[in-house]
Amino acid sequence: MTGNRAYKRSLGLFELVSLGVGGTIGSGIFVVPGVAARLSGSWSLLAWVIVAISASCVLLSLSYVSNRFTHGNSFFSLFESVFGARVAIPLMVLYIISSIFGVSTIAAGIGQYIGFFNLSHILLIEIALIALFCFINIIGISFSGMTENVLTTLKIVPLVVISLVLLPFIRPENFASTLPLTSSGLLATIIIVYWPFTGFEISAIPVEETRDPTLIRTSLLIVMGIVVSIYLILNVALIGSVGVISLAASPAPIATAAGIVFAQSGTLVAFIGIVAMLSALNAYIIGTSRVLHSLSGRLSIPKLMDLSGRGIPAYALAAGCFASAVLLLFSNQFEALATISVITTLIPYIFFCCASWILVTDVKSRLISSVGALSTAAILVIYFIV
């Protein structure tokens, strides 16, 4: 809240789930299966399972403490109450950096799928899309939330259909590994596979725009159930139906898989991929702006702490989108952007788990929080060592 202006409470359970699913299922699942297959062959399935377990533990930890930030400032109030402002502020800065890189990563992923149509000036298109969704969000959360609902529905249904249609084409020989399993290869795969799993926490960010903040925990659980189910089934279907060699050679693996199995379907799937990534782009822009606005309010940063007459953090929206667009001018490489986004996201994830471990003391919850914290910390430590 700024002065007499406040956020508009217009989001319900469906909108929260759409934001979480929209932020999670985006560029990652449409690009990463090919990257993972190139790094580890069919062993990449192991990376998907490991990351699914780790991310699920982080999400459950976040859901346990979601009641701690039901009255504004979202993650900041949680981190500050448990660790103090000296820890909370750097964590929020890291999360904002990861989100800005996330927006750029999604835009770069869209560019890869636009390339499927042999279009030129891809970088300009990516920047234009960031600007478009910035404008959509400045109009208001009701409009951007409705946009997210439509885009999320348009991507979830086709992904489920694609997974089910590919399953009958699975051949056991396609799971034979073309690459040996190595610790360095598996680690590199885990890092890049973590990217499709990040973003679920966006469901918990727009607290002050949610009609009933107690729905946040429910939305988080629904989001992870949908994401894990789709990811694991789809990756088994992709590798089993077309093999890792074809996947590894493609910048748009789902489109390639559909095109190999069903002639002329690749273009349609590429279009679905773009829709999915637009949904993720919108969700990330919403999340980035709210966290930036929250931190700016705590630090009393002029303009960035302000809300418009429509209850929108317009300056924070513009600043976050501008930073992401500028970042694309320096690097339009999906893998590099995704890796930095994941690394900077995992640190706040560790603290979600630590906060849960401190606040929720039953054995089951602490076991889940410990697995989440230790797995994400191990990924970080090994990444920098190796």
What's the CATH number where 29 sits?
1.20.1740.10
The answer to whether residue 18 sits within a structural domain is no
Q: Are 211 and 9 in contact (CB under 8 A)?
A: yes
When pLDDT is cut at 50, 70 and 90, the band that residue 68 belongs to is: low
Q: Are 375 and 54 in contact (CB under 8 A)?
A: yes
Torsion sign (Cα): 285, 287, 292, 294: positive
| pLDDT over 90 at 354, yes or no | yes
**pLDDT 10s digits, 69-125:** 655 556 888 888 889 989 999 999 999 999 999 899 889 888 877 877 777 788 899
The answer to whether residue 172 sits within a structural domain is yes
| pLDDT over 80 at 178, yes or no | no
**Which pLDDT score, from 0 to 100, does residue 371 have?**
95
**Which pLDDT score, from 0 to 100, does residue 133 have?**
92
Residue 2 backbone phi and psi in degrees, to 5? -135, 115
**Which pLDDT score, from 0 to 100, does residue 222 have?**
93
Please give the model's pTM, rounded to 2 decimal places.
Answer: 0.86
The answer to whether residue 361 sits within a structural domain is yes
What is the DSSP annotation of 232-286? HHHHHHHHHHH-HHHHHT-SSHHHHHHHHHSTT-HHHHHHHHHHHHHHHHHHHHH
- Taking alpha carbons only, the member of 38, 162, 28, 54 closest to residue 108 is 28
Share of residues in the chain with pLDDT > 90 (%):
27
When pLDDT is cut at 50, 70 and 90, the band that residue 128 belongs to is: very high
The answer to whether residue 161 sits within a structural domain is yes
**Higher confidence at residue 373 or residue 196?**
373
Structure tokens at 38: 């190139």
The answer to whether residue 375 sits within a structural domain is yes
* Other beta carbons within 10 Å of 43: 21
Mean of pLDDT values over 229-257: 84
Q: Tokens 């953090």 appear where? A: 313
The answer to whether residue 265 sits within a structural domain is yes
| pLDDT over 80 at 255, yes or no | no
**Which pLDDT score, from 0 to 100, does residue 206 have?**
80
Q: Which secondary-structure segment (H or E) carries 112? A: helix 85-114
The region, left, alpha or beta by phi > 0 then psi within -120 to 50, assigned to residue 352 is: alpha
How is residue 5 annotated by DSSP? Answer: B
The whole-angstrom separation of Cα 244 and Cα 229 is: 21
Listed ranges 149-158, 175-184, 261-270, 280-289; the one with the highest mean pLDDT = 280-289
**Which pLDDT score, from 0 to 100, does residue 27 have?**
66
**Which pLDDT score, from 0 to 100, does residue 1 have?**
47
The answer to whether residue 190 sits within a structural domain is yes
The answer to whether residue 2 sits within a structural domain is no
Q: Which secondary-structure segment (H or E) carries 76? A: helix 74-83
| pLDDT over 50 at 38, yes or no | yes
When pLDDT is cut at 50, 70 and 90, the band that residue 262 belongs to is: confident
**Which pLDDT score, from 0 to 100, does residue 93 have?**
92
Mean of pLDDT values over 203-228: 86
Please give the residue range of the domain that contains residue 84: 24-385
Mean pLDDT for the chain?
85
Domains held by the chain: number: 1
